[in-house]
């Protein structure tokens, strides 16, 4: 399993996705990232941790350690799970202030994935990012 | 395939001539909304270009012209569904408003504590929630009519549910999630036998074959213009005259009144009693043009074309392997709902979208039936008369690719 945020950072993802021209390679890579996401155990998949998306289910568990935030996330859809890995690469192991300051739209724009962050996509990604940001600003 | 001239039909739909994500668009989300032919687009544009004015205000030529076209559209719709008078055609925003109007007006004035409203277990949320809202207010209940594993209403179970406390049975003519065509004629007869009323949600049938409200003998019937090649924000509610006459107004405002004073206000006659405020004039005219479009077709040939597409698509899907059809009613419109054994419906929808293929994924606003089937949702390809065998080939190639990616 890969630790997103340390083994794979947001810069790594920007760089790797930059190599690919076609959507197929890009999507394959994203799906593979999802497969590397550390698993969330069944105990984490509670109603409380469920992020309401329209179609697929997304769960998020937040943990704070030594002033840094760590997230575990899971989804029942592969592509969304890959996109979760992309998000966690940006947020994991950062302080609440760093999480708040991170320009997530700019990041997704650089990845050419911005449309997935739109709330109309109904993939729960937007809602998850909002929850992470809320967790950060509540601390 | 039939000899239906699909190329000539397609040529009337400008939106279909575009690329999406670098591929020619394959539009298979027709149950969500159909595309609009040039004639409908022009009718709306021409209305704004030449005739725009408020209706029923008289006093000048433009208003007369707008009123004439607006009311001619109503007459056209009355004939389209074979209503006995144009006064029974109420303009709405769509099917959803039709249900809400009947639930709020008829429901609040006719339902009492202990009464029962029955809806099928595969209804669209818009034919469930408005009934739940009024039921909660008056102390009535809303109960599901069982639907079997194939996606058919269990008519015997319905018969067993019917008693004198049942006051309304609200069912879809066709399921948007599964495509099943429901036996509404038989249902209506059974329901009338216990003295209850029938509401037909015709959102998914209206584009497919001619409706005849008198032959169906339904008490209410609603549909949306946008699912029958007309504009969004427009719909029709048909009701039996004696019911509409007895029902209180739904919303108050201009147009719906005869006279207003602080001593007491008199309501307008049908259909205006239910049409408060400036109506969607362009919408009505656009809907009229959509009716003209449909009437100009050989509708039997169009229906046969769609059914042939469905048969071809279902056979092709099954030979791909890894996919399972959801909704196997013998009588279906051209809606193919399915799941895969290797990925979430949303994954498949995203991979198809990348290839310029538009389908719907999710619970299709019919969560109860998805829950019953234990599914997070389905992928739904819904065909219209402008779809082609080539669209099916593209869909199958797209699904092959999804399998390669995700399986
Ligand atoms: C069966 C059914 N009923 C009702 C509706 C609601 O229609 P509208 O959103 O146009 O009001 C739809 C549309 O999705 C439908 O498919």
Identify whether residues B83 and B19 lie together within a single domain.
Answer: no
Our count of domains for chain B comes to: 2
**Chain-chain contact of B405 with A28 (C-beta, under 8 angstroms):** yes
Answer whether B125 touches A (CB < 8 Å). no
The answer to whether the beta carbons of residues A13 and A89 sit under 8 Å apart is yes
Residue whose entry in the numeric block shows the structure tokens 């509404």? B184
pLDDT of amino acid B119: 98
Cβ–Cβ contacts within 10 Å for residue B252, how many?
12
Answer whether A27 touches B (CB < 8 Å). yes
Active site residue A54: yes
Identify whether residues B278 and B358 lie together within a single domain.
Answer: no
Residue whose entry in the numeric block shows the structure tokens 């969330």? A40
Q: What distance in Å separates the CA atoms of residue B161 and residue B152, rounded to the nearest whole number?
A: 16
Residue whose entry in the numeric block shows the structure tokens 């449909």? B294
Contacts with A78 from chain B: Cβ below 8 Å: 343-344, 347, 406
Cβ–Cβ contacts within 10 Å for residue A12, how many?
12
**Is position B36 within any domain?**
no
Contacts with A57 from chain B: Cβ below 8 Å: 376
Best of B19, B339, B347 to substitute, by most chain A Cβ atoms within 10 angstroms, is B347
Identify whether residues B209 and B226 lie together within a single domain.
Answer: yes
Question: Between B346, B405, B406, which is nearest A123 by CB?
Answer: B346
**Is position B141 within any domain?**
yes
Q: Which of B274, B295, B316 represents a domain boundary (last residue)?
A: B295
DSSP per-residue codes, B199-211: EEE-TTTTTTS--
Peptide bond into B322 cis (omega under 30): no
Best of A31, A79, A121 to substitute, by most chain B Cβ atoms within 10 angstroms, is A79
Identify whether residues B302 and B247 lie together within a single domain.
Answer: no
Q: Name A50's bridge partners.
A: A59
The answer to whether the beta carbons of residues B140 and B117 sit under 8 Å apart is yes
| Nearest C-alpha neighbor of B168 from the set B102, B247, B222, B101 | B102
Q: What distance in Å separates the CA atoms of residue B346 and residue B93, rounded to the nearest whole number?
A: 29
pLDDT digits (tens), chain B, 407 positions? 456 899 999 999 999 999 999 999 999 999 999 999 999 999 999 999 999 999 987 789 999 999 999 999 999 999 999 999 999 999 999 999 999 999 999 999 999 999 999 999 999 999 999 999 999 999 999 999 999 999 999 999 999 999 999 999 999 999 999 999 999 999 999 999 999 999 999 999 999 999 999 999 999 999 999 999 999 999 999 999 999 999 999 999 988 989 999 999 999 999 999 999 999 999 999 999 999 999 999 999 999 999 999 999 999 999 999 999 999 999 999 999 999 999 999 999 999 999 999 999 999 999 999 999 999 999 999 999 999 999 999 999 999 999 998 98
Identify whether residues B194 and B220 lie together within a single domain.
Answer: yes
Of the CA atoms within 13 Å of residue B27, those in its CB half-sphere come to: 19
* Atom from ligand 1 closest to the CA of residue B32: 14
Which residues contact ligand 1 via a Cβ below 6 A?
B 94-96, 124, 126-127, 172, 176, 201, 203-204, 224, 226, 365
Structure tokens of B207?
């584009």
**Is position B35 within any domain?**
no
**B133 Cβ neighbours under 8 A, 6+ residues apart:** B103, B104
pLDDT band for A54, please (50, 70, 90 cuts): low
pLDDT of amino acid A55: 76
Cβ–Cβ contacts within 10 Å for residue A27, how many?
20
Domains of chain A, earliest start first: 10-137 (3.90.1010.10)
Note the Cα B321 to chain centre separation in Å. 32
Q: What distance in Å separates the CA atoms of residue A17 and residue A11, rounded to the nearest whole number?
A: 10
**Is position B308 within any domain?**
yes
Boundaries of domain holding B184: 41-295
Identify whether residues B327 and B280 lie together within a single domain.
Answer: no
pLDDT band for A120, please (50, 70, 90 cuts): low
**Chain-chain contact of B346 with A31 (C-beta, under 8 angstroms):** no
Answer whether B377 touches A (CB < 8 Å). yes
Identify whether residues B130 and B205 lie together within a single domain.
Answer: yes
Q: Which of A54, A97, A101, A134 is catalytic?
A: A54
Answer whether A77 touches B (CB < 8 Å). yes
**Is position B244 within any domain?**
yes
Identify whether residues B101 and B236 lie together within a single domain.
Answer: yes
**Is position B359 within any domain?**
yes
CA distance B218 to chain A (A): 34
Output DSSP code: residue B153: B
Please give the span between the terminal C-alpha atoms of chain B, in angstroms, as a whole number: 32
Identify whether residues B216 and B308 lie together within a single domain.
Answer: no
Q: What distance in Å separates the CA atoms of residue B50 and residue B52, rounded to the nearest whole number?
A: 6
Task: Cite the active site residues of B.
Answer: 365
Instruction: Return the ∠ at Cα B302 (arms to B297 and B308), rounded to 5°.
Output: 165
Q: What is the 3-state composition of chain B as percent helix, strand, coil, each rounded to the nearest 5? A: 45, 20, 40
Q: Is B62 left (phi over 0), alpha (psi -120 to 50) or beta?
A: alpha
**CATH assignment at residue B278:** 3.40.640.10
CA distance B351 to chain A (A): 9
Contacts with B347 from chain A: Cβ below 8 Å: 77-80
Q: Name B118's bridge partners.
A: B143, B169
**Is position B165 within any domain?**
yes
**Chain-chain contact of B344 with A23 (C-beta, under 8 angstroms):** no
pLDDT of amino acid A121: 65
| Nearest C-alpha neighbor of A106 from the set A34, A30, A11 | A11
Q: Which of B295, B325, B352 represents a domain boundary (last residue)?
A: B295
Locate all alpha helices (DSSP H) within B81-173, ordered by sequence.
95-101, 108-110, 129-138, 155-161
The answer to whether the beta carbons of residues A131 and A60 sit under 8 Å apart is yes
| Nearest C-alpha neighbor of A84 from the set A135, A37, A24, A27 | A37
Backbone angles phi, psi at B171, to 5 degrees: -135, 150
Identify whether residues B49 and B143 lie together within a single domain.
Answer: yes
pLDDT band for A122, please (50, 70, 90 cuts): low
Rounded to 10°, the helix A23-36/B389-406 angle is 40
Identify whether residues B143 and B81 lie together within a single domain.
Answer: yes
pLDDT of amino acid A24: 92
The answer to whether the beta carbons of residues B92 and B225 sit under 8 Å apart is no
β-strands B235-239, B89-92 pairing? antiparallel
Please give the span between the terminal C-alpha atoms of chain A, in angstroms, as a whole number: 29
Answer whether A57 touches B (CB < 8 Å). yes
The answer to whether the beta carbons of residues B340 and B322 sit under 8 Å apart is yes
Structure tokens of A73?
């996330």
Distance A111 CA to ligand 1 centre (A): 36
Identify whether residues B105 and B251 lie together within a single domain.
Answer: yes
pLDDT of amino acid B57: 78
**CATH assignment at residue B304:** 3.90.1150.10
Q: Which of B295, B311, B329 represents a domain boundary (last residue)?
A: B295
Whether the model clears a pTM of 0.90, i.e. scores above it, the answer is yes
Output DSSP code: residue B47: I
Q: How many CB pairs under 8 A join A and B?
A: 44
Q: What is the dihedral of CA B186, B189, B191, B193, to 10 degrees?
A: -140
Question: Between B21, B343, B346, which is nearest A55 by CB?
Answer: B346
Q: What is the dihedral of CA B362, B367, B372, B374, to 10 degrees?
A: 30
Structure tokens of B13?
């739909």
**Chain-chain contact of B354 with A57 (C-beta, under 8 angstroms):** no
pLDDT of amino acid B1: 47
**Is position B1 within any domain?**
no
Q: At residue A112, does pLDDT exceed 90? A: no
């Amino acid at each position: 399993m890969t630790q997103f945020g340390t083994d794979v950072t947001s810069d790594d993802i920007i760089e790797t996705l930059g190599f690919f021209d076609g959507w197929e390679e890009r999507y394959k890579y994203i799906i593979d990232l999802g497969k590397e996401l550390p698993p969330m155990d069944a105990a984490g998949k509670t109603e409380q941790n469920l992020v309401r998306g329209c179609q697929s289910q997304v769960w998020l568990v937040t943990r704070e350690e030594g002033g840094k935030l760590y997230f575990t996330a899971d989804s029942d859809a592969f592509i969304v799970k890959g996109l979760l890995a992309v998000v966690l690469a940006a947020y994991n192991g950062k302080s609440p202030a760093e999480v708040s300051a991170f320009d997530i739209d700019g990041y997704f724009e650089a990845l050419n994935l911005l449309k997935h962050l739109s709330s109309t996509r109904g993939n729960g990604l937007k809602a998850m990012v909002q929850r992470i940001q809320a967790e950060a600003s509540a601390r | 395939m039939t000899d239906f001239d699909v190329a000539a039909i397609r040529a009337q739909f400008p939106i279909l001539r575009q690329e999406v994500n670098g591929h020619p668009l394959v539009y298979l989300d027709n149950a969500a909304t159909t595309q609009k032919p040039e004639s409908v687009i022009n009718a709306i544009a021409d209305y704004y270009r030449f005739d725009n004015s408020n209706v029923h205000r008289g006093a000048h030529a433009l208003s007369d012209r707008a009123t004439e076209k607006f009311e001619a559209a109503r007459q056209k719709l009355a004939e389209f569904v074979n209503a006995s008078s144009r006064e029974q055609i109420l303009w709405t925003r769509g099917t959803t408003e039709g249900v809400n109007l009947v639930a709020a007006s008829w429901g609040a004035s006719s339902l009492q504590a202990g009464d029962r409203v029955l809806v099928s277990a595969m209804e669209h949320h818009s034919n469930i929630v408005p009934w739940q809202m009024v039921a909660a207010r008056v102390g009535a209940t809303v109960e599901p009519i069982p639907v079997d594993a194939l996606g058919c209403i269990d008519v015997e179970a319905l018969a067993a549910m019917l008693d004198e406390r049942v006051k309304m049975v609200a069912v879809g003519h066709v399921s948007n999630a599964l495509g099943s065509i429901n036996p509404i004629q038989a249902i209506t007869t059974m329901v009338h036998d216990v003295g209850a009323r029938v509401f037909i949600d015709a959102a998914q049938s209206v584009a497919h074959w001619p409706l005849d409200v008198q032959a169906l003998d339904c008490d209410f019937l609603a549909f949306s213009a946008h699912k029958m090649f007309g504009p969004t924000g427009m719909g029709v509610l048909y009701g039996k005259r004696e019911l509409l006459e007895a029902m209180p107004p739904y919303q108050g405002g201009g147009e719906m009144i005869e006279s207003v004073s602080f001593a007491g206000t008199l309501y307008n006659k049908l259909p205006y009693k239910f049409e408060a405020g400036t109506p969607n004039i362009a919408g009505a005219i656009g809907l009229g043009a959509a009716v003209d479009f449909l009437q100009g077709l050989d509708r039997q040939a169009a229906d046969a074309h769609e059914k042939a597409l469905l048969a071809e698509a279902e056979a092709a899907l099954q030979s791909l392997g890894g996919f399972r059809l959801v909704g196997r009613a013998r009588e279906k419109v051209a809606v193919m709902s399915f799941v895969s054994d290797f990925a979430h419906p949303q994954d498949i929808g995203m991979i198809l979208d990348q290839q310029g293929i538009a389908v719907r994924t999710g619970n299709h606003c019919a969560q109860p039936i998805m829950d019953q089937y234990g599914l997070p949702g389905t992928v739904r390809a819904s065909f219209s008369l402008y779809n082609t065998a080539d669209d099916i080939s593209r869909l199958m190639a797209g699904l092959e690719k999804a399998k390669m990616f995700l399986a």
